[in-house]
Amino acid sequence: MSVRLAVVATGTGVGKTTTALAILRAAKALGCRVAGWKPLETGGTEDGDALQAASDVRCPSAVLLDDPVSPHLAARRAGRSIDLDAIASAAPRAAVDLLLVETAGGLFSPLDERGRTNAELLAALDPGAVVLVAPNRLGVLHDVAAVLRAAPTLRARIVALALTGGDPADRSADSNADELARLHALAVWTFPTTDASPAPMLAWLRAAVRGG
């Protein structure tokens, strides 16, 4: 069975690519063929290149923009326009066990001049499962709640919340995972500042791509 998994986030720079790479590498370790795709990237190709390096099948980005700003603004400055329908149509159809899609910026980062966001792109891509990434820091309870309330149709597809990083000096860091799981009845994959993969993530991958 082929699984299309989207990795989205509560904001920018919170660990989407780190999470995506961990998922791809863990799936490969389980014997799966994988492909990572960043449909749209601004400010260089670092994230997309990392996904390609971790993939068995290369899936180039559909849109690349130089300015490290919001996609709609980067496109405007470059005299270009972003067509979400064209991006969705360019989605890879690679013969892999897991196709992972990583969006650019936060879930509601604007992508085009019409104000459409990653949420609309996600609706067009129609992934079977979604992982929501958030930083393990003070304020994450609000950020996750805000995203879930703003995107109720996405809620049913979220298989886990990936909680990344964590500062020992932040007194909320030790309790955020438990509180988020309790408040939203979500599985929480906690990513420490190491290369370790959370055991619950590995269990989900086994069930998703190998039928248990």
48-98 confidence digits (pLDDT tens):
999 999 999 999 999 999 999 999 999 999 999 999 999 999 999 989 999
Annotated catalytic residue within 4, 16, 26, 38: 38
Q: Check residue 209 and give its pLDDT.
A: 80
The sign of the torsion formed by the CA atoms of 74, 80, 81, 86 equals negative
Q: Is 16 a known active-site residue?
A: no
Write down the pTM of the prediction: 0.94
- Asked if 38 contacts 65 with a C-beta cutoff of 8 angstroms, the reply is no
Percent of residues in the chain assigned helix, strand, coil, to nearest 5: 35, 20, 45
pLDDT band at 191 (very low <50, low <70, confident <90, very high): confident
82: helix, strand or coil: coil
Does 30 have pLDDT greater than 80? yes
pLDDT in tens, 128-185: 999 999 999 999 999 999 999 999 999 999 999 999 998 889 999 999 999 999 999 9
Which fold, 3-210?
Rossmann fold (3.40.50)
